[in-house]
Structure 1
Amino acid sequence: MKKQLWLYAALLINLNSDLAHAKPQDKQTPDDDSGAVYNDSKKGIGVLPAAALAISTCAELQGINNDLSGEYYLANNVNCAGFDAGDGNGFLPIGNEATPFVGTFDGQEFSISNVLINRPTMDYVGVFGRAGAVDGSDEAIISRVTVKRFNITGRQFVGGLVGQLSYSSAENVHSQGVVTGEAGLGGLVGSNLYSIITNATSSGSVNGDHTGTDPNKIAYGGLVGSNDGGHISCSSSNVNVLGDYKLGGLAGENVGGTISQSFANGTVDGFSEVGGLAGENISGTIANCFATGAVTGEDEVAGLVGLQDADGVNPMIRNSYATGKPTGVSNTGGLLGLMIKGACADNYYDMTTSGVATDGCGAGGRTTAQMQMQNTYPGWDFNNTWQMNGYPDLRCAPTPPPPILDTDNDGIYDDEDNCPLDANTDQADLDKDGLGDVCDNDDDNDTILDPADNCPITPNPDQADLDKDGFGNVCDDDDDNDKVLDPSDNCPLIANPDQADLDKDGLGDVCDDDDDNDKVLDPVDNCPLIANPDQADLDKDGLGDSCDDDVDGDGIVNGQDNCQLIANPDQKDSDADGTGDACDTPESLAVQTTGLIVTRNAQANDDLAQFKMSSMQDLGAAAKAAAATAKANKTPLALTIQFGATGATPIYSYTAIAADLASVAGNRLLFHSADKKVQITCPFSAARCVVNIRKTDLDNAQLDALLTGELTVSLQVGVSTYSNTGTWKQFNSGNGKVTTYRKNK
């Protein structure tokens, strides 16, 4: 009672009095309507002390416990997400019942966010547990700070910012979060003991016991749980309050304190003494206030104050109104539920929105239309305190921000939750569109809604589905539905369960456009499954020789054809050696070299050495066929003419190699060198072979030696050689210019 008398005595003191700078027990409190700010001689609110210590981190904030009388300020926003004091219960409140915080703390308009405190058996719980000495011997000043997105749990005297504020002050302070406990709970301050709170807001929820079985579980308020001898001005609350007894949208109970120029618009749900602004007003003053939230309870339930009574000093409610709907069993009023003692003056409530026709204060019930007319409120100060904004609105009270809630109870507050109505602690957001996957109806952001999307978490606006299995190609791990998963499938888009890969190039045959890997694409490859880069096709039937089972096109399959490369449909084999006559080559064949050799003078411009050999028919068809086979197969073939003794260095020799074989046609062999210096013609029917050698550069002696020596003629086809050697002697000699020789018979 002594403290209450101090407060009300202070109300009579002029704001300009020297007592404004007196000791704590003589502190000045402004007039209940003014909303003026208390100022202390040592620690003025909003004035940053020169020796103040900067707080930049949550650990530094926690460290204030090491010096509870220091002067501090926030240097930046402080995020306490994940912070723990070391005991697994989150942040440890600054100051406690025995050793309160008695310093200054200036937030400089910065915030403290994501504070988690889980200490359900501890009293005096908040960012600051207890601030200010309970006997008034020393005070704390807290200013210009917002605590938000907090979740704070204690037993009693629990607040978002301060558990209990004693003989101290808090100005321009704000809270947004959740407070849970048993008694003395406030969104901002749990217990305001002979302290001043001004320009403050709170939003969120206050969750107390709601069983109605323990009458000691009291004082639940949106801003302050219990305002015991304290002063609250120019403040507001948007908090949903749940508890048992003495619940208010702004203050659970106002005992000997003052609440002025403040309002509440959150819902309040309790059992007894339940009000939109205050649960009870005991010897306190409520002036120039209003409440708009719905109120629910059983007894003493009202739009503004549930119960008003006196404990020495008569309480007062004046110049205030309510629009919320009260729902109760007994003592339910539009403005006041039950008044035992006290007074009311110039108060109103909205009969239309409240649905209540009576009031415990005798306040004037008005329709909504009347409540929104300024002339309904005679005597109210619309120059300094009020202004019309539909209903009357306060000029000094700040509007509280929307509550920061955790609607889906996933530990992430709604303002940071990408699915505020669906629990998703991982906050997964596949398409990074700001909507969490659990509540995003187009997870991959491809404009196809998930229920109709065949790949709901992988973008595929074309909805391509090769195997028509209901899974889009981009998310189907077996696109061709051949039971071989795409990472292992050598043809992922064409079904090939056997995974055949002829050329072992890693591409299955069904999707390989060069199955034999011979660099000739399958559509133009005459042997698409057997490598044949030369595309040889002897019989010109469109099938390459490598894959043609009848290469010579004679109707006899290769395995049964005795001449696979030369057409011989009759399969004639005279010597019964398994090789048909058309391609059979005898091991030796005598070459008769009877005939003439004619030479011309070596000095002539067109030297010519010509010999004829008869019996060329002895070479016959076999030699011709062998030569044709050799040409077709690109096997060695050569015709050698050599003058000189056998085994000795020849006087002259020439070998017509395969490259010089011009043709095997017209019943003859035709050889000539690239420079046409040597030309050899062996027409078989003429029974002779003529060799023309031009510009031999041989002198007469060499010619004489050549023409009197030996002549060896060899025809080599593959591994077979046809050869004969004869001795030539001079037959007749002329003037040296033309000499004819004949071989001895």
Structure 2
Amino acid sequence: MLGAGTQSNPYIVQTPQDLHNVRNNLTAYYELGNDIDMGSWGNFTPIGTSSAKFIGSFNGKGYKIKNLTINSTTAYVGLFGFTENATIQNLVIENANVVGQNVNYVGILVGNITNSTIKNCYTTGQVNGQYGVGGLVGWHYSGLIENCFSHANATGKGRVGGLVGNGATSNSLVNKCYSTGLVTVTPDPNLYNGGLVGSHADSTKVTNSYWDINTSGQTKSAGGIGKTTTEMKTQSTYAGWDFISVWGINNDYPYLQMFGVPTAPPKKETISIQSYVNHIHSIVIKTNKSTKQIKSFLNTIQTLSERHTGTKRTVSTYTLSIETSVQKSNRSVRSAIATVNTYINPIGSLVERKTKTMKRLLSYVDSIHSHVNVIVPIQNKIINAYLSVLENPSSLYCIEHNSNIYAIENPSTVEVI
């Protein structure tokens, strides 16, 4: 193990074996050098007993001890079994399973503390014992627990609390702490149990501390204030707490800033996405007003002119990875002057002579109305437009030796589809 065990040069705990070796020097200074997973270690023996107490200092430095398992038949059960004049701070014990089989003084972090200080620590998992069982500390004889919390479930026969099982004296101080774990007392559920503290010699020594009455299943505690889950996740609940440099809250239970913002467990869900894409229809109406001059040396003019124009247009769309449905209709009216040439082949003409003298007939048709249909189907990416020009046949009758000439023009119409 690196270090010298002094305050200026503490031992650096980096492996499960290093953690086990802390019992070899119960007066030294220790620091975690990284997270330690105890999952492969098996049953861990608590550090310190009532006859050989841990009186040193252990600084977690913001690291975690994960998957700790303890199953003991000897009293004073926890990562540390018994501490006196010790300091434990900045430490997380995550997903622990601590059991004291028919024994007392059981907690995930410490079984019993005397004249010791615990700061900036929290626990998760479960703890089970007989009397004096707590999610953080089982038996709190004297000292200070501050800025700590527990999400662990606690089960026992009596003096069971979400954070502390029993505060044995008026010197058992708890300040700015909370708990959320389920508290279960069997067989007598009324035998000294509480959401935060199971029992306490002087409940006034528990200050500015809270427990969740919904998740704990407890409406009473020997100290602290019970709040609903919603209230526990609201910053204004925590009177006097330092949410600038010590605590943080983000629509959830408060967390200690030194450990970073807690990450929620991943959620698996199935999302069905249906996209309905209909055809895009667009109607473009175009009306051309044009003046045409046509000369024809005929009595009867029959013309039919069709003009088809294909226009290619590109429409770019930007979409996300899911399919989208877009419907768009455009309608535009344009007025323009265009020259349209018509070619009629063959042109049939009929000239009737009523006299013996053949005369040159000359007729002028100045105004010809045109009928223009523009149908533009718009499709995704490519737009084709089609133009049809339809002229109505015009007719002219010229009869000599009569005083009147009748000219009849068929008006042209524009039909828009």
Q: Which residue number in structure 2 is paired with residue 141 of structure 1?
A: 10
**2:242 aligns to what SS in structure 1?**
coil
Q: Which residue number in structure 1 is paired with residue 268 of structure 2?
A: none
Q: Which residue number in structure 2 is paired with residue 230 of structure 1?
A: 86
Per the TM alignment, residue 209 of structure 1 is displaced from its structure 2 partner at its CA by: 2.6
**1:307 aligns to what SS in structure 2?**
strand
Q: Which residue number in structure 2 is paired with residue 94 of structure 1?
A: none
Per the TM alignment, residue 228 of structure 1 is displaced from its structure 2 partner at its CA by: 1.8
Percent of pairs with identical residues: 27
Task: Say if 1:162 and 1:354 are closer, same or farther in 2 by CA, change over 3 A.
Answer: same
Aligned-partner residue type, residue 338 of structure 1: S
What TM-score, normalized to structure 2? 0.54
> What does 1:416-495 align with in structure 2 at a 5 Å threshold?
none
Q: Which shows bigger deviation, 270-279 or 389-398? A: 389-398
Q: After superposition, what is the alpha-carbon deviation per residue over 1:471-504, rounded to whole angstroms, capped at 9, x for unaligned?
A: xxxxxxxxxxxxxxxxxxxxxxxxxxxxxxxxxx
Q: Does the Cα contact within 8 Å between 1:139 and 1:168 map onto a contact in 2?
A: no
* Partner Cα separation in structure 2 for residue 196 and residue 338 of structure 1: 27
Q: Which residue number in structure 2 is paired with residue 476 of structure 1?
A: none
Per the TM alignment, residue 146 of structure 1 is displaced from its structure 2 partner at its CA by: 2.1
Select the residue among 252, 257, 261 that pairs with 2:120: 261
Task: Say if 1:182 and 1:141 are closer, same or farther in 2 by CA, change over 3 A.
Answer: closer
Per the TM alignment, residue 191 of structure 1 is displaced from its structure 2 partner at its CA by: 5.3
> What does 1:551-562 align with in structure 2 at a 5 Å threshold?
none
* Partner Cα separation in structure 2 for residue 381 and residue 290 of structure 1: 15
The answer on 1:167 being equivalent to 2:35 is no
Q: After superposition, what is the alpha-carbon deviation per residue over 1:704-729, rounded to whole angstroms, capped at 9, x for unaligned?
A: xxxxxxxxxxxxxxxxxxxxxxxxxx
**2:230 aligns to what SS in structure 1?**
helix
**1:349 aligns to what SS in structure 2?**
strand
**1:266 aligns to what SS in structure 2?**
strand
**2:31 aligns to what SS in structure 1?**
strand
Task: Say if 1:379 and 1:274 are closer, same or farther in 2 by CA, change over 3 A.
Answer: same
**2:15 aligns to what SS in structure 1?**
strand
Q: Which residue number in structure 2 is paired with residue 386 of structure 1?
A: 247
* Partner Cα separation in structure 1 for residue 233 and residue 245 of structure 2: 18
> What does 1:634-645 align with in structure 2 at a 5 Å threshold?
none
* Partner Cα separation in structure 2 for residue 395 and residue 249 of structure 1: 22
Aligned-partner residue type, residue 319 of structure 1: K
* Partner Cα separation in structure 2 for residue 370 and residue 250 of structure 1: 27
**2:68 aligns to what SS in structure 1?**
strand
The answer on 1:203 being equivalent to 2:71 is no
Q: After superposition, what is the alpha-carbon deviation per residue over 1:505-544, rounded to whole angstroms, capped at 9, x for unaligned?
A: xxxxxxxxxxxxxxxxxxxxxxxxxxxxxxxxxxxxxxxx
Q: Which residue number in structure 1 is paired with residue 335 of structure 2?
A: none
Select the residue among 138, 146, 151 that pairs with 1:279: 138
* Partner Cα separation in structure 2 for residue 366 and residue 286 of structure 1: 20
Q: Which residue number in structure 1 is paired with residue 171 of structure 2?
A: 314
Per the TM alignment, residue 183 of structure 1 is displaced from its structure 2 partner at its CA by: 5.8
* Partner Cα separation in structure 2 for residue 293 and residue 360 of structure 1: 18
Per the TM alignment, residue 226 of structure 1 is displaced from its structure 2 partner at its CA by: 2.4
The answer on 1:288 being equivalent to 2:157 is no
Q: Does the Cα contact within 8 Å between 1:163 and 1:191 map onto a contact in 2?
A: no
> What does 1:638-653 align with in structure 2 at a 5 Å threshold?
none
* Partner Cα separation in structure 2 for residue 247 and residue 371 of structure 1: 26
**1:218 aligns to what SS in structure 2?**
coil
> What does 1:464-543 align with in structure 2 at a 5 Å threshold?
none
Q: After superposition, what is the alpha-carbon deviation per residue over 1:430-452, rounded to whole angstroms, capped at 9, x for unaligned?
A: xxxxxxxxxxxxxxxxxxxxxxx
Q: Does the Cα contact within 8 Å between 2:86 and 2:115 map onto a contact in 1?
A: yes
Q: Does the Cα contact within 8 Å between 1:167 and 1:194 map onto a contact in 2?
A: yes
* Partner Cα separation in structure 1 for residue 86 and residue 261 of structure 2: 21
* Partner Cα separation in structure 2 for residue 386 and residue 248 of structure 1: 24
**1:353 aligns to what SS in structure 2?**
helix
Q: After superposition, what is the alpha-carbon deviation per residue over 1:354-401, rounded to whole angstroms, capped at 9, x for unaligned?
A: 01011011x111110000000000110000110003100001247999
* Partner Cα separation in structure 2 for residue 219 and residue 147 of structure 1: 24
Q: Which residue number in structure 2 is paired with residue 241 of structure 1?
A: 98
The answer on 1:218 being equivalent to 2:218 is no
The answer on 1:396 being equivalent to 2:255 is no
Aligned-partner residue type, residue 147 of structure 2: N
Aligned-partner residue type, residue 202 of structure 1: I
**2:231 aligns to what SS in structure 1?**
helix
Per the TM alignment, residue 166 of structure 1 is displaced from its structure 2 partner at its CA by: 2.9
Q: After superposition, what is the alpha-carbon deviation per residue over 1:652-695, rounded to whole angstroms, capped at 9, x for unaligned?
A: xxxxxxxxxxxxxxxxxxxxxxxxxxxxxxxxxxxxxxxxxxxx
* Partner Cα separation in structure 1 for residue 104 and residue 48 of structure 2: 12
Task: Say if 1:339 and 1:179 are closer, same or farther in 2 by CA, change over 3 A.
Answer: farther
Which runs of structure 1 show a deviation greater than 6 angstroms over 4 or more consecutive aligned residues? Answer: 398-401
**1:396 aligns to what SS in structure 2?**
helix
**2:72 aligns to what SS in structure 1?**
coil
Q: After superposition, what is the alpha-carbon deviation per residue over 1:158-214, rounded to whole angstroms, capped at 9, x for unaligned?
A: x5341254332112344322463676579xxx953132434253122332335xxxx
**1:382 aligns to what SS in structure 2?**
coil
* Partner Cα separation in structure 2 for residue 183 and residue 249 of structure 1: 10
Q: Which residue number in structure 1 is paired with residue 301 of structure 2?
A: none
Task: Say if 1:183 and 1:396 are closer, same or farther in 2 by CA, change over 3 A.
Answer: closer
Aligned-partner residue type, residue 15 of structure 2: V
* Partner Cα separation in structure 1 for residue 197 and residue 82 of structure 2: 19
* Partner Cα separation in structure 2 for residue 365 and residue 285 of structure 1: 21
Aligned-partner residue type, residue 224 of structure 1: F
Q: After superposition, what is the alpha-carbon deviation per residue over 1:263-282, rounded to whole angstroms, capped at 9, x for unaligned?
A: 11121011111101110111
Task: Say if 1:185 and 1:294 are closer, same or farther in 2 by CA, change over 3 A.
Answer: farther
Per the TM alignment, residue 314 of structure 1 is displaced from its structure 2 partner at its CA by: 1.2
Q: Does the Cα contact within 8 Å between 1:164 and 1:192 map onto a contact in 2?
A: no
* Partner Cα separation in structure 2 for residue 263 and residue 348 of structure 1: 14
Per the TM alignment, residue 225 of structure 1 is displaced from its structure 2 partner at its CA by: 2.6
**1:267 aligns to what SS in structure 2?**
strand
Aligned-partner residue type, residue 335 of structure 1: L
* Partner Cα separation in structure 1 for residue 85 and residue 113 of structure 2: 8
- Gaps of at least 5 residues in structure 2 are 264-417
Per the TM alignment, residue 218 of structure 1 is displaced from its structure 2 partner at its CA by: 2.0
The answer on 1:356 being equivalent to 2:218 is yes
* Partner Cα separation in structure 2 for residue 280 and residue 335 of structure 1: 13
* Partner Cα separation in structure 1 for residue 207 and residue 136 of structure 2: 17
Q: Does the Cα contact within 8 Å between 1:280 and 1:305 map onto a contact in 2?
A: yes
Flag the structure with larger Rg. Answer: 1
What TM-score, normalized to structure 1? 0.31
Task: Say if 1:253 and 1:140 are closer, same or farther in 2 by CA, change over 3 A.
Answer: farther
Task: Say if 1:316 and 1:266 are closer, same or farther in 2 by CA, change over 3 A.
Answer: same
Select the residue among 320, 335, 343 that pairs with 2:196: 335
* Partner Cα separation in structure 2 for residue 272 and residue 184 of structure 1: 20
* Partner Cα separation in structure 2 for residue 400 and residue 226 of structure 1: 30
Task: Say if 1:139 and 1:249 are closer, same or farther in 2 by CA, change over 3 A.
Answer: same
* Partner Cα separation in structure 2 for residue 245 and residue 194 of structure 1: 23
Q: Which residue number in structure 1 is paired with residue 111 of structure 2?
A: 252
* Partner Cα separation in structure 1 for residue 22 and residue 260 of structure 2: 20
* Partner Cα separation in structure 1 for residue 25 and residue 211 of structure 2: 32
* Partner Cα separation in structure 1 for residue 248 and residue 261 of structure 2: 14
Q: Does the Cα contact within 8 Å between 1:164 and 1:193 map onto a contact in 2?
A: no
**1:274 aligns to what SS in structure 2?**
strand
Aligned-partner residue type, residue 209 of structure 2: N
Aligned-partner residue type, residue 26 of structure 2: S
Q: Does the Cα contact within 8 Å between 1:287 and 1:317 map onto a contact in 2?
A: yes
> What does 1:558-707 align with in structure 2 at a 5 Å threshold?
none
